[in-house]
Amino acid sequence: MRPEALVAGRTGRRCLALPSNRFGLYLALRHWCSPGERLLMSPISADEILFLVLAAGLRPVIAPLSPADGNIDPGAVDLDAVDAVLTTNLYGLPDRVSAFAGKVLIEDVAHAIETTVGGRPLGTFGAAGVYSLSKHPGAGSGGVLAVEHESDLRALERERDRLMLPRAFAGEICSVLTSMARHAALRLGMVRPALRLSRGLGLEEEREGYRIAPRPDDVRLALKQVPDLPAFDSWVRADLHDYRTRRGHLSRWYQSRRLRTLDRQRERRIAGVRLLAELPTAAAAVRDHLEQPLFRVPLLVSDRDAAIADLERRGVATGYLYDPPYDDYLPEFTEASPAPAVARWWGRHVLPVDPLYARRAMPVLRALAPAPPVSP
């Protein structure tokens, strides 16, 4: 079964297959928002998300975050002052979707394909939900855009086809084989060799800390062309250079195969979430979602870099770190949060742990000191 059909069966929505989640977010933002509009968004998310928002010609309005889950704190923002909202559902913890009723809501469900709110899947509350097949399913690439109305689906399909690049079969084989190799390395605890190989093959961008170089002069030049996705390709393609390249039968077969692992892994994930939630370092909201098979369990620890090194030595990978927040990373191109302290605290101290490897990680995690309290 095709990946979009599997997601449609889970969500009850009309679904469009995509080369990546990030490509789908751009399509959704361009379809439901107009250049110049103000988009409320979290400051704690992947680099490429900010750049595709800029590529769509939108003004990023950076939201204050809740210390409990690192998501948007709707009680601390003036929703009347923004035109649309982009949720993050960080690590699978759900944004407060009901608080955004009446606004154009685009749900980034990359981390939350398995998360529900009131028994209803995330990605079905807003105008669009954009899923990733490279996160929970671990398919290496691929995304699905879920919408309510057939007319929107057809318009998005036309725009997808206009912007998509031709299929590259050799690259497709490489993507599938690389994903398979990563899964094997994780199972065998060979994290450090896998990381060295990935960097040696150029599959990860050079970074300044946890962010790619912002290059503000180049951003100013690209902004003169908005709305235009290719002008921002050098940022949006980070760690996934074929993010808008058409996929063929091999990729679709692999994506469908990986999607079917979700049900088999569900109980293992939930068991890992419950184990990690017992730690004093677990983010407060984790204890409210013990039935959710989270993508990662966020811990808030004092010395994160030392913890990452210790985990890698035990064969546990981390990643998915978003520091500094967007308004510190690219202040010239964002509207700063009125209360940035929580975002900076999360960015500096969060340690996302894969619940599938919770038991392997526990000898390190039990010894970690909690992060100092967030300061105003």
Cβ neighbors of 147 (< 8 A, separation 6 or more) are 13, 14, 15, 16, 127, 128, 153, 156
* β-pair type (143-147, 14-18): antiparallel
Of 202 and 171, the structure prediction assigns the larger pLDDT to 171
- pLDDT for res 194: 65
Separation of alpha carbons 357 and 294, rounded Å:
12
Which of 27-41, 161-175, 335-349 is least confident? 161-175
Query: What distance in Å separates the CA atoms of residue 6 and residue 4, rounded to the nearest whole number?
Result: 5
Q: What is the pLDDT of residues 190-217, one digit of tens each?
A: 666 666 666 565 567 788 889 999 999 9
Rounded CA gap, 58 and 191, in Å? 38
Cα separation, 259 vs 136, in Å, equals 8
What is the residue-wise DSSP string for 336-363?
--SS-HHHHHHHHHEEEE-GGGHHHHHH
pLDDT of residue 354: 96
Q: Write down all domains in the chain, each with its CATH number in brackets.
A: 1-264 (3.40.640.10), 265-365 (3.90.1150.10)
Mean pLDDT (the chain) is: 93
pLDDT (0 to 100) of residue 10? 93
Tens-place pLDDT, residues 257-290: 999 999 999 999 999 999 999 999 999 999 999 9
